[in-house]
Chain A
Amino acid sequence: MVGSVCSFLTNHPKMPAAVELRGIHKTYDNFIAVDHLSLKIREGSVYGLLGPNGAGKTSTIRMMIGITMPDDGELWLFGEKFHREQLQRIGYLPEERGLYKRMKVLDHVVFLGRLHGLSAAESRKRGLDWCERLQIDGWVHKKVEELSKGMQQKVQFIATLLHDPDLLILDEPFSGLDPANVVMLKDIMIELKKAGKTILFSTHRMDQVERLCESICLIDHGRSVLEGDLKRIKARYGKNTIHMQYEGEAPFDHSELIESVNDYGNYVELRLRPGADAQQLLRMACERSRISRFELVEPSLEEIFIDTVKPHA
């Protein structure tokens, strides 16, 4: 299976990581943005950097692309200690998108391509190809401000991808996108992954991470609270989550069987205490209300996220 091959590769000492943070530390005034964070992103993988707002995701990414320098710790990219030439192999899509409004689309794409080390002619050629593929080729000589928001997003993706980066860093890539653009971006990401590119995804949208990422790092207050292969993390939690559909009264009060509850009115998600018996809970629920569905599942990433982050809050 692919998973086992991948884990073999992860453990292989000679395989360089696309990104490796070793005890990265960053403070602003007295505020600790990133607290001795270590993580490793395997080349060719899709990696999710998760965390609530203000957890330190963007601060971490900014250090990976040389916008700020860590106070302490080491940053390795592609098996070498960080140096600025490596930035030409990285494509960065910031959370807050931005373009020069009054610049013409093609000029803008060429400018950013050249900043990433391409020649003017090459940037132009690639830019036109991408614009054609994303169906904005009729707009290349228009000013950015004349484009719709969706089209501006496409220009921004092109600017990120133009220099064919080996590592893509996407900060909340799907936020503010219409469904068509979400599908388009996802398709491009899968294509790039198949071509062996590494993709780092920073988000708090768990559903997308669950579908796309192989490994994750969950950070909170600048610290890593959960890191590793997504399948293994989920397996570690076991099938301790119950999805239950009911009618009438709530099927239970407090019970020592239950660790946490997320009640939606006629649908409830709850997690069992370690060692608790699901059958006992089902019997209890049947006595009080009509149960139309009762399912024992692995926890969703969202539940793991909320569960892991909550105690610190």
Chain B
Amino acid sequence: MHNSWLVIQREYLERIRSKAFIIMTLLMPVFMGSTILIPAFLSDMKSGVTRHIVLVASNAEIAEAVQKELTTPPAGNAEQRKAAPRYRVEMDSNTSEAERDKLRRDISDGKIDGFLWLSDSNLANRKVVYSAKDVTDFSENIELRNAVHSAVVKRQLGQKGMSEADVESVLEPIDFDSVRIEKGREGASGVAVFLVSFTMVMLLYVNVLVYGFAVMRSIIEEKTSRIMEVLLSSVTAKQLLAGKIIGVGAVGLTQALIWLAIAGALSIPRLGAAHSMLSNVRIPTVGIIAFAVFFLLGYFLYSTMYAALGAMVNSDQEAQQVQWPAMLPIIFSIVLSTPVLQHPNSALAFWTSMVPFFAPILMFVRIMAETPPLWQIALCIVLMLVTTWGLLGLSSRIYRVGILMYGKRPTLPELRRWLRYSG
């Protein structure tokens, strides 16, 4: 045990101290954070810019209604209401083709940003055209469409005799939200469950693969640098393997917990626009526990496979060629994670989450989506432990023989003989 402990210590400290670890640990949250913050920040920036557009309509009433929709801030939250109106609207009642050409030139010359063509014939056909230099901003297109739509609908309802107040109340938007019920109480909202599950599944997947692969590479390094023989003159192959897997796994867990801690810390203080997106996203405690449990179980299962593969090969290039048996099941479980998340109680979800190679991802997804019966979680964990134990026996036999074999990669019959060697 003393020897395994020394190996664990070495693996852990050497990795934690390495520049690669520190950079990766810090960069990942920056990367993840910026994928959330940058779009929010950009749209913030854009909201400060006022677009200058021309409303071309022979019907002044319609033009005014649309202008009102565009310049009155929506009945959103306080922050959105505070923001300056995004559009400076100019009216134009000349709907001739000549005017249209002139406006086109104005766009090219940069005098205006765009124009909405609301000629009577267009309105009669219920078809409105927006011309601008760039029309790929979806949010702008949606805003304009909504403004025109709501102006036209309100006007038509008014013409049918409804009062303005009635029209407003009829058109009041309905706020739709789905809420997960847990033990009879309301839990996180549907969007939040999806976002958190998705992020954590990705983290789980990346970490299991990255650290499983790290075990394999470290075995190859010991083989190619030939330090293996020095180590084996005081440590048994089993102690070395156990120490390595535990040490590297501890590094992976440390990293994941640092990330989760950063994510937790970031979701507390207000962070401008990002806050509104993150405010209803809470990482549930059960999620963190399940993450730790399934990361460790998944990591042990996969790293024992990676260890055997590492002992069989002699270089990183060869490792690339043989690592598919370990990659395939985890990629497959990522593919299955979406249907399982949508129907966490289906037969498909149950059976696939009971397969030990898929369980680290799929059982975790099910727990995040809707806590399955306890016996299912227990059965799944037992199955994983049994499989890992069996694999560990096989892997350590391959490892013990393989680490002293240099040269050709073993064929399958050779591998079978390796398993029979006494020592």
A residues with a Cβ closer than 8 A to B are: 28-29, 62, 65-69, 71, 84, 87-88, 90, 92, 94, 96-103, 107, 111-112, 114-116, 156, 159
Contact = CB atoms under 8 A, between A and B. Distances in A.
Given A98-B225, A100-B225, A102-B14, A115 B422 contact: no
B229 A96 contact: yes
A68 B230 contact: no
A100 B17 CA distance: 15
13 contacts: A66-B233, A67-B229, A69-B423, A87-B233, A92-B230, A92-B233, A96-B229, A98-B222, A98-B225, A99-B227, A100-B221, A101-B221, A156-B230
Given A98-B225, A102-B18, A103-B14, A65 B417 contact: no
A187 B417 CA distance: 45
Contacts of B236: 66, 84
B231 interface: yes
A84 B228 CA distance: 17
Chain B: interface size category: 20 to 34
Contacts of A66: 232-233, 236
Nearest to A115: B234
Nearest to A88: B234
A275 B10 CA distance: 65
Contact of A100 (B227, B232, B234): B227
Contacts, number: 67
B417 A68 contact: no
B229 A94 contact: yes
Interface in B204-235: 221-222, 225-235
Nearest 8 interchain pairs by C-beta:
A98-B226, A98-B227, A96-B226, A69-B423, A94-B229, A92-B233, A98-B225, A115-B234
Contact of B234 (A87, A98, A101, A156): A87
Contact of A65 (B227, B233, B422): B233
A134 B102 CA distance: 89
B233 A67 contact: yes
Interface in B119-142: none
A173 to B, nearest CB: 14
Interface string B32-47: 0000000000000000
A98 B229 contact: yes
A91 to B, nearest CB: 9
Given A90-B233, A92-B233, A116-B234, A111 B10 contact: yes
B423 A115 contact: no
Given A69-B422, A115-B6, A98 B230 contact: yes
Nearest to B414: A29
B105 to A, nearest CB: 65
B259 to A, nearest CB: 24
B3 interface: yes
B287 to A, nearest CB: 36
A71 B423 CA distance: 8
Contact of B230 (A28, A71, A94, A102): A94
A159 B226 CA distance: 14
Nearest to B5: A114
Nearest to A112: B230
Nearest to B417: A29
Interface string B108-119: 000000000000
Contacts of A156: 230
Contacts of B229: 62, 67, 92, 94, 96, 98
Contacts of A103: 14
Contacts of A107: 14
Nearest to B225: A98
Interface string B6-36: 1000100010001000000000000000000
A155 to B, nearest CB: 11
B228 A98 contact: yes
Contact of A101 (B225, B230, B232): B225
Nearest to B420: A29
B14 A115 contact: no
Contacts of A62: 229, 404
Contacts of B14: 100, 102-103, 107
Contacts of A112: 230, 234
A100 B13 CA distance: 14
Contacts of B6: 111, 114-115
Contacts of B10: 111
Contacts of A111: 6, 10
A71 B420 CA distance: 13
A39 to B, nearest CB: 20
A67 B404 contact: yes
Among A87, A88, A98, A111: residue with most chain B CB under 10 A: A98
Contact of A115 (B226, B228, B231, B421): B231
Given A67-B232, A87-B233, A101-B225, A115 B3 contact: yes
Given A115-B3, A115-B6, A159 B230 contact: yes
A42 to B, nearest CB: 22
Nearest to B228: A98
B10, B221, B422 interface centre (most CB from chain A within 10 Å): B10
B236 to A, nearest CB: 8
A107 B422 CA distance: 34
Contact of A71 (B225, B417, B422): B422
B360 to A, nearest CB: 30
Contacts of B404: 62, 67-68
Contacts of A96: 226, 229
Nearest to B403: A67
A111 B7 CA distance: 9
User: Most chain-A Cβ atoms within 10 A of its Cβ — which of B222, B229, B236?
Assistant: B229
Contacts of A69: 422-423
A29 B422 CA distance: 11
Q: Which of B14, B221, B227, B232 has the most CB of A within 10 A?
A: B227
Contacts of B232: 65-67
Contacts of B417: 29
B318 to A, nearest CB: 19
Given A98-B229, A111-B10, A112-B234, 19 more contacts: A67-B229, A67-B404, A68-B404, A69-B423, A84-B236, A92-B230, A94-B226, A94-B230, A96-B229, A97-B226, A98-B222, A98-B228, A99-B225, A99-B230, A100-B225, A114-B6, A115-B3, A115-B234, A159-B230
Task: Tell which of B233, B417, B423 has the most Cβ of chain A within 10 Å.
Answer: B233
Contacts of B234: 87-88, 112, 115-116
